[in-house]
Amino acid sequence: MTAPTVQSHLSAQDVDEVRALIEQVTAADGTPPLSEHVMLHLPGGGDSDVRHLLVRGPEGLVGYAHLDVTDQVAGSSAELAVHPRARGQGIGRALAEELMRQSPDGRLRLWAHGDHPAAGKLAASLHFERARSLWQLRRSLTDPLPDVVIPEGIAVRTFVVGRDEQAWTELNNRAFAAHPDQGGWGPEEVLVREAEPWFDAAGFFLAFRGSDLVGFHWTKIHGGTSHGEHAHDALGEVYIVGVDPTEQGHGLGPALTLLGLHHLQKCGLAEVMLYVDESNTAAIRVYERLGFTRHATDVYFAHTP
């Protein structure tokens, strides 16, 4: 087996190879092995200040890992993928060991999307501890949905490109101030998503009290005929729902969630999914009342020297 090579940037050919690898892994495992953030930044060769680990065999790229070393508080974060035909050959272990060596202080958070048993065994063998779980919940859209009841004094409209980015970013960061992934965004995080084929302002709902933006529901559609990048039927997503802390507890979050579900249902979708942290029991209860059930789990394992 060829040892992993480490690069600070991916060439256009590298990007094509990584994307092909991710498609093969996703088809085999039923879930993408890399996060949305990583995939969004691949076309440009990856974010700055990240490291790419690649393993190539006679038939091309068989292993890839992405390492982000920018979080000095929580430590480095990584994700990896191994081609289905190349598993059982030590490639995953070689990537994980190189990721540990590349981490500046030895700390490493390693994500396993889909909570595959093999990932758990590898993590345990390298003395990682299970640290966090992210649940994927799903709900049928062929079943009836409750009516939407918008709280008194709230007006709702859809997102306007070129006008709402800054206000949305400020609200998002207030709503998710303590969230490890969603907080601390800048307008550029919106712009990069606006450039994606799936972006649709008609499915991005903003709630106002007077002139103040106080809530939102950003929906998303994966695959199908909407942009044809996957082979599966189109799947809706409750992408992000956020409410200003001053408005929480008054029913705005559930109302905006339902508004987005009705929109996705009108788009002709049969099913919708969302992600929620296992520890966020209040949100899980809300989603369960709306008919969602757990479909899959993403886990990150933590290594501390």
| Per-residue pLDDT tens digits for 253-288 | 999 999 999 999 999 999 999 999 999 898 899 999
Quote the strand ranges of 31-128, DSSP E.
50-57, 60-68, 76-82, 108-112
User: How many Å apart are CA 218 and CA 216, to the nearest integer?
Assistant: 6
Region 86-100 average pLDDT: 95
- Within 10 A of 189 (CB to CB), how many other CB atoms are there? 16
Instruction: Tell me: pLDDT of 230 over 50.
Output: no
Residue ranges of the chain assigned to CATH 3.40.630.30: 5-134, 143-269
**pLDDT tens per residue, range 30-74:** 889 998 888 888 887 777 779 999 999 998 999 999 999 988 778
Counting Cα atoms < 13 Å in the Cβ hemisphere of 246 gives 6
With bands split at pLDDT 50, 70 and 90, how would you rate the model's confidence at 295?
very high
Instruction: Tell me: pLDDT of 181 over 60.
Output: yes
The two three-digit tokens of residue 217, written as one number: 């529901």
With bands split at pLDDT 50, 70 and 90, how would you rate the model's confidence at 229?
very low
Region 148-154 average pLDDT: 96
The mean pLDDT of the chain is 91
CATH number of this structure's domain 5-134:
3.40.630.30
Contact 75, 110 (CB under 8 A): no
Percent of the chain having pLDDT more than 90? 76
pTM for the predicted model, two decimal places:
0.81
The second-level CATH assignment, the architecture, of 143-269 is 3-Layer(aba) Sandwich (3.40)
